[in-house]
Every structure is written in structure tokens, then in C-alpha cells.
Amino acid sequence: MDNILLDKYDQLKDYLKSLGAVAVAFSSGVDSTFLLFAAHEALEDKAIAVTASSCLFPKRELREATDYCKKLGVTHYTVEEDVFTIEGFAQNPPDRCYLCKYKLFESFINLAKKHGTEFVVEGSNLDDNGDYRPGLKAISELGILSPLRKVGFTKREIRELSAHFGIPTAEKASFACLASRFPYGETIFVEKLGMVDKAEQFLLDEGFKQFRVRIHGTDVARIEVLPEDFERFMNPDFRENIYGVFKEYGFNYVSLDLKGYRTGSMNETLGTVVK
């Protein structure tokens, strides 16, 4: 392990210690799990975790969050949030993530204050600065702290340190909320979120590590996988199986994106959405 990277980790713990107590916005993803681990090391029982429970996140993520907090010995709270009560959310405008994050993190702030904790921290890293991420604006406006960005961590460094410390998410695939599977301007429905959730769970069970199932219209699935996984789709039996299963979930058309998996692919249309 690079001593420079370990020094950076010590800087992270020192910063967290300076806050006195924190509530970690915990999704069970790579970044927030690493942040929670560091916060627990730095602050022990003065670090708590808070997780949103909503239709935007697969149930497996909430189960993993709960299990990890129990293993680590961290007090864990969940916030139930009906995102469809957020004005404008269902219409899926380009700033949808801003609307949603603002509401969710307001709830986190209220819960933290209820338990005597002033600071809410979240796990975005330096790599998150390079894409269209309106949620970061909401985080900034609410005064949410981003320790990993402040200290200067990249995703690669987070994964490397996670492996070093035995954190179970070191090689976990990155997954954004299910609303990110919808093209901007297409209405989000609970039923369609459920279709995407089941389709992605199927691919996960089939052994795919990094992928997305994007939904277009009411019944078109666009599958993004890593280029090295394209070969599996050349098998007629495999294709027929995926088509049959996705059909059961409500999709009438199933396609493979020839460009492959990439984060924020829906942002590629922003030039035609944002005027």
C-alpha cells in the first residue's frame, strides 16, 4: 500500500474527527461504505448512518446497508421517502436529481438534528466532478459536507484503500438510483421502476458485474454491458432467455447498446433537452 495514500486516509480521519460527530448518508455503495468505515474509525459511536428507503433503490441495497452497519457496529437509521410527492419529480426534468436529492437530504438533516448530530456527510469523490450532476448543487445548497472530495479521493483510490482495509465493497459495481434509467422528459412511473429493478436483478444473478438497463417509452429495454461481455449475447439461447424473462417483466422490445456501459449515458441527450 502506497504510504501517500495511507497519509491521505489519515487526513480524511482527521477531518472527520474535527467535526465531532457526523451522520453519513449511506447507500451501501463503494464510496459511502468507505466513508462510513473511515467515520467509524475516526469517531466511533459519534458516527451514525442514515439510508433512504424508497422505490428508487433496489431492496438488496437497503439489506446490504443494514447488514454492514450491524457488522461494523454503527447505529443505522432509515428514512422512508415517497419521491412522487416531490413536485416535478415524476416529469423527469433535467434537474430531477436536484429535486430528489434536496428532499432526501433535508430529511437526513432533520434526522441528524433529532439525534444531536450537526453535520451530514456524503460520499461523492473527485470523479463525480466531471459529469452533469445536479444533485451536487442540492448538496452544496444544504450545507452537506463531502469529505472524500475535500481530501481529494478518486474512485480508484477509494477502491484500493477499501481492498486494503477489507471493506466488502472494494470491487462492487457502481449503481445510481433507478430514476437515472429514464430519458429526461419521459414520465417516471412506479411500475416502470419495478420493471427496471427486476431486469437489473436478473442480469446481476446471471453474473454481470457492471451494467445498466435503460427504459425507453413504456416497453423498450436498452441493455448496457461492458464490451468484454458482448460475447455472451452472441449465444442464441442466452439472448432468447433474456428476451423471454424481460418480456415477463413487461418489456416488448429488448436491445443491446453497441457502445456498451458508461455512466450517465442519459446525459448524452442533454443538448436536446436543455434549451
- Angle value at C-alpha 49, between 127 and 262, nearest 5 degrees: 25
pLDDT score for 264: 76
109 with 145, same domain: the answer is: yes
Structural domain boundaries enclosing 11: 3-165
Whether residues 159 and 190 share a domain: the answer is no
b/e for 52-89, b at 16 or more Cβ within 10 A?
bebbbbbeebbebbbebbeebebebbbbebebeeeeeb
Q: What is the pLDDT of residue 274?
A: 39
Amino acid identity at 169: T
> How does pLDDT run along the chain (275 residues), one tens digit per residue?
789 999 999 999 999 999 999 999 999 999 999 999 999 999 999 999 999 999 999 999 999 999 999 999 999 999 998 999 999 999 999 999 999 999 999 999 999 999 999 999 999 999 988 667 889 999 999 999 999 999 999 999 999 999 999 999 999 998 889 999 999 999 999 999 999 999 999 999 999 999 999 999 999 999 999 999 999 999 999 999 999 999 999 999 999 999 999 887 777 766 644 33
Nearest-angstrom CA–CA distance, 89 and 94? 10
Boundary (domain end) residue, out of 108, 142, 165: 165
C-alpha cell at 179: 430514476
Number of domain units in the chain: 2
Q: What per-residue confidence (pLDDT) applies to 146?
A: 98
Do residues 157 and 241 share a domain? no
Nearest residue to 109 via CA among 48, 46, 40, 57: 48
The answer on 157 and 42 residing in a single domain is yes
**pLDDT for the residue numbered 270:** 67
Do 133 and 211 sit in the same domain of this protein?
Answer: no
CB atoms within 10 A of CB 90: 16
pLDDT the model gives residue 273: 44
188 in the same domain as 112? no
One domain for residues 52 and 117: yes
56 and 99 in a single domain? The answer is yes
Do 56 and 120 have their domain in common?
A: yes
Whether 139 and 242 map to the same domain: the answer is: no
In a domain, 173, yes or no: no
The answer to whether residue 152 sits within a structural domain is yes
Tell me: do 7 and 60 sit in the same domain: yes
Last residue of a domain, one of 139, 165, 191: 165
